[in-house]
Each structure stands twice: as structure tokens, then as C-alpha cells.
Amino acid sequence: MSRNAESTAFRSALEVVRGVEPRVADAIAAELADQRESLKLIASENYASPATLLAMGNWFSDKYAEGTVGRRFYAGCQNVDTVEALAAEHARELFGASHAYVQPHSGIDANLVAFWAVLADRVESPALRKAQARQVNDLTEADWFALRRELGNQRMLGMSLDAGGHLTHGFRPNISGKMFDQRSYGTDPATGLIDYDRVAEAAREFKPLILVAGYSAYPRKVNFRIMREIADSVGATFMVDMAHFAGLVAGKVFTGDFDPVPHAHIVTTTTHKSLRGPRGGMVLCGPELADQVDRGCPMVLGGPLPHVMAAKAVALAEARRPDFADYAQRIVYNAQALADGLLRRGATLVTGGTDNHLVLIDVSGYGLTGRQAEQALLDSGIVTNRNSVPQDPNGAWYTSGIRIGTPALTTRGLGTAEMDATAELIHTVLSQTTPGTGPDGAPSKAKYVLDPAVAESVGKQAADLLTPFPLYPAVDLG
């Protein structure tokens, strides 16, 4: 696509929207302006290509397409079949998987599809066999009771939230925590690293049906070969949620023992984050689980979103290009440079560094909570998110950590020199911020004090840092 074509496409689209609801058009334009001017360091965010964005805004949005390719419950889905098949083909080739299911609307949806596929495959139940045979009307109340009891009483072992695990790995606020009897494995208190011997010990004691690996705030690689051996030793299904690091797998930065696809029975992911596609999910598996996974709609999902599947196909095609591997490697180089810059300035990092795309700062060393640090950085044009650290005394709301990641800034073209400058800006803000007090004068975990002049100065430096790396340079909204 030519630079002029991109600009024309987005400008024309906003003009059409503005003709119906100008406030929406204004908000879209304002979002682009905000993203252009901010140091986006949220580890789970990125910038999709213009082609990926444009693939979502079309007539596929109007289609119902329950079912799978060639087996739809609605007529007229031949074009949906084309884009879904393309997305699945690109996913299989990109990750070396035998089967790909690209319908999930999100990472949570992808995990639910995986959970139910494993339950349906592993749990012996006459009621379940009837349901699988589409004899649902023949199920008695006793059958339903047995089905609920058996499917809702299985065991899952996953990484704890404060160690870097994800809410969807069996924790109570999420439906997965209500589906499973869940237990967590943590990290070594001294190093912050996974202790595989302790994971094996927990698996032997707990005997889970599903062993889950994957993370949202663990800054190191995971050895999936060892995790599979642990799962096999107790007869568990090994599931990996690679939503955060899928781009590093696609770009062949994580290979061998650190590539989950050859080792896991089933793998889930989002299609955005480090993969740089549209917001959505995906499931990869072998042939033994493929039929169960393909029942994701209507088992768990609502109707597929064909326009998003079209965008997934575009993004996955982009990820198969040689330059994506270079991009993925630069993500890690940048994260390591950012970590090194922070360490040199006295920051405390969980695990002392990073092997992947994210860095976790323990801001208690600055005398702050994660919430105070997050807001002070936002005031200064640096977008991050607060996050728990292992054994966090401030809990999951206030937290003691800040999670930062490099996928988005790497997409913009920033390199290791800019990461060191970014570390300086972060350190300046955190070292100049102090805790505030509540109305009663007591110390507050949310209130903070930062000289507006410092925030303004850092914001200007952040903007200057971004100037040589324009976001969507071909898009001029006029």
C-alpha cells in the first residue's frame, strides 16, 4: 500500500464516521494523537499495521458464520471460509502446528475453548458422551448433575498471579477459577525464577488434570520440555498460554526447549501483543484435540467475527515475512537494554533482568506503590501498568510493581540507545515522586506528589525521543 493510499483510506473513513457521529470520529483521531505522543510501554500493547487495521473495517462484520470452514450453520459463508482458512493456514505454517483454530474473540476465550476441549477429551462420563453425540435432549437431570460435578471438579495447576501468572489460569475472579479446583506454583523467593523441582513436587502431590504454563508478568524464558516431562509424569494435559510471547515464538527468538508448540498438548494465544495483529485469540493443537477445539462455537464462543479473522490472516501473513524475525529479536534486545539502563540507575527488577519482552520493576525501592508509580509516569507521558511482584505486600490493586514492555516502541523503530534514554526518564519520575497522604493525614497507597515541572520536563523529553520515530507516518488525518 502506498503512503498516499494509507492516508486517503483512514481520512476517508473518518469523514464517513463524522457524518453520522462526529464525537466518535473525534475520539478516534484523538486516540491516534495520544498514541503518537506517548511512550507506550504496556507490555501487552502494540501497533497493528494499516493493512491489519483496514481488514477489520469491512462487510465481513455483517456476517454470521457459526460452525467451521465448509460446515456453517448459515448460508452464504463462502468468503468467510476463505479468510478463516487463510488465517489457520498462516498460523499452522508460522508456528509449526498441525491444527489452528482462529475463531476465539480474545485470549480468555481461547483459554476457555482449550479448557473445555481438554475436559471433553479427558473426562469419562456417560452424560458427556451423550452430549458429544448431540443427544442433549436425552440427558436426564441425573446426567446433568453428574456432568456438572465431573467437569467442574477437575484440578488445574498453574503459575500464581504474584509470580507472573494470568487471571485465566484458575483464579477465582475468572470463570476458570470456578470451573477448576486450582492450585498454584510460584517462583523461588530468592531469585524470582521458576523452580522446576518444586513444580514437579506440586504436580505429584496435587495430580492435576491440566498443567498450565505461560505468564503475563514473568520476565524470563520457560523450559517447556521440562514442564511437559512434569505433566507426563502425573498424566496431566500440558497447556501453554503464550499470549504474551507469541511474537517471540513466531520470530524464532524462542526455539527448542523454549518453543511451546512442540512440547504442549495444546497452546493458546492472543493475536495482538508481541504478534502485532488485531485483538483476538487462537488455539493450536495436535490432531487428537482438533475436533474438540473446533467445537469452540457454540460450546464457549458466540458467533465468529469474520472481519477480525480477516485481520488475523493479514497479520499472520506479515509475521511470516523475514523482517518479522528481525523485529522479534529487536524486542528482546530493547527489553534487555531497558533493564540494564534501569539497573545501572539503581532500580530493583524482579529476577534481576529479562529474557523476553518485559521488565518488572519493584517500585517499593522508590518508596512507592505500583499505583502511585503508574500515575506519576502517566502524568509524564510514559504509559505503563502497575503489576504485582512475588509475595506482594500491597496486593493486586495497589501492587508494588510496574510492568513495562518493548513490543510497541520496537514497532516504532526505537533501539537500544533510546531504551537507555527511556530508563533515565522512568528513573527520574520515580525518584522524584513521593507518597501522598489521605484527607486524614495518614499515608496513602494511591496519592502521590510529583512536581508538575518535573512531569512537564519528562513529557517533553519523551516527545522529543519519539520525534524521529513517527507512528503511522503515512497517515495524515488533516
Checking if the pLDDT of 134 tops 60, the result is: no
Query: Which of the four pLDDT bands, split at 50, 70 and 90, describes residue 298?
Result: confident
C-alpha to C-alpha distance for 468 and 51, rounded to whole angstroms: 23
Q: What is the mean pLDDT of residues 97-106?
A: 96
Q: Is the dihedral of CA 296, 257, 331, 168 positive or negative?
A: positive
Per-residue pLDDT, 132: 59
Listed residue (39, 46, 91) closest to 331, CA to CA: 46
Checking if the pLDDT of 90 tops 80, the result is: yes
Per-residue pLDDT, 166: 78
pLDDT tens per residue, range 227-240: 999 999 999 999 99
CATH class of 324-466: alpha beta
C-alpha cell at 176: 476458570
Q: What is the mean pLDDT of residues 291-311?
A: 91
The angle formed by the CA atoms of residues 226, 231 and 236, to the nearest 5 degrees, is 165
Per-residue pLDDT, 121: 82
Checking if the pLDDT of 299 tops 70, the result is: yes
Strands 237-241 and 266-270: parallel
Checking if the pLDDT of 61 tops 90, the result is: yes
Query: Which of the four pLDDT bands, split at 50, 70 and 90, describes residue 442?
Result: confident
Question: Which residues are catalytically annotated?
Answer: 64, 66, 241, 270, 273, 279
Per-residue pLDDT, 438: 82
Query: Which of the four pLDDT bands, split at 50, 70 and 90, describes residue 88?
Result: very high
pLDDT tens per residue, range 253-275: 999 999 999 999 999 999 999 99
Per-residue pLDDT, 423: 98
**What is the widest separation between alpha-carbon atoms in the chain?**
71
Q: Look at 44-58, 142-156, 261-275 and tell me which has the smallest mean pLDDT.
A: 142-156
Q: How far is CA 40 from the centre of its chain?
A: 15
Q: What is the mean pLDDT of residues 144-169?
A: 77
Do the beta carbons of residue 276 and residue 94 sit within 8 Å? no
Every domain of the chain and the residues it spans = 59-319, 324-466
Identify the three-state secondary structure at position 402: strand
Checking if the pLDDT of 196 tops 90, the result is: yes
C-alpha cell at 251: 520470530
Query: Which of the four pLDDT bands, split at 50, 70 and 90, describes residue 2?
Result: low
* Residue pointed to by grid coordinates 494509507: 6
Q: What is the mean pLDDT of residues 124-142?
A: 63
Query: Which of the four pLDDT bands, split at 50, 70 and 90, describes residue 142?
Result: confident
Q: What is the pTM of this model?
A: 0.91
C-alpha to C-alpha distance for 465 and 202, rounded to whole angstroms: 47
C-alpha to C-alpha distance for 49 and 392, rounded to whole angstroms: 37
C-alpha to C-alpha distance for 46 and 274, rounded to whole angstroms: 7
Instruction: State percent of the chain over pLDDT 90.
Output: 78
Checking if the pLDDT of 139 tops 80, the result is: no
| Mean per-residue pLDDT of the chain | 92
Q: Look at 336-340, 352-356, 391-395 and tell me which has the smallest mean pLDDT.
A: 391-395
- Beta bridge partners, 40, equal 383
Q: What is the mean pLDDT of residues 420-429?
A: 98
Q: What is the mean pLDDT of residues 158-180?
A: 76
Q: What is the mean pLDDT of residues 91-95?
A: 98
Query: Which of the four pLDDT bands, split at 50, 70 and 90, describes residue 126?
Result: low
C-alpha to C-alpha distance for 2 and 371, rounded to whole angstroms: 43
Per-residue DSSP letters for 296-327? Answer: HHHHT--S--HHHHHHHHHHHHHHTSHHHHHH
CATH assignment of 59-319, among 1.10.287.130, 3.20.20.70, 3.40.50.1970, 3.40.640.10: 3.40.640.10
Per-residue pLDDT, 1: 52
426 against 5, higher pLDDT: 426
Per-residue pLDDT, 172: 66
For 122, 123, 137, 144, 286, the CA distances from 129, given in Å and listed in that order, are 11, 10, 13, 12, 21
Exposed e or buried b per residue across 376-415, where buried means at least 16 C-beta atoms within 10 angstroms of its C-beta: bbbbbbbbbbbbbbbebebeeebbbbbbbbbbbbbbbebe
Listed residue (68, 71, 133) closest to 290, CA to CA: 68
C-alpha to C-alpha distance for 300 and 101, rounded to whole angstroms: 13
Query: Which of the four pLDDT bands, split at 50, 70 and 90, describes residue 439?
Result: confident
SS3 letters across 446-462: EEEECCHHHHHHHHHHH
For 58, 75, 77, 82, 436, the CA distances from 72, given in Å and listed in that order, are 21, 7, 7, 13, 58
Listed residue (384, 385, 274) closest to 331, CA to CA: 274
Q: What is the mean pLDDT of residues 416-433?
A: 98
Do the beta carbons of residue 204 and residue 233 sit within 8 Å? yes
Do the beta carbons of residue 402 and residue 374 sit within 8 Å? yes
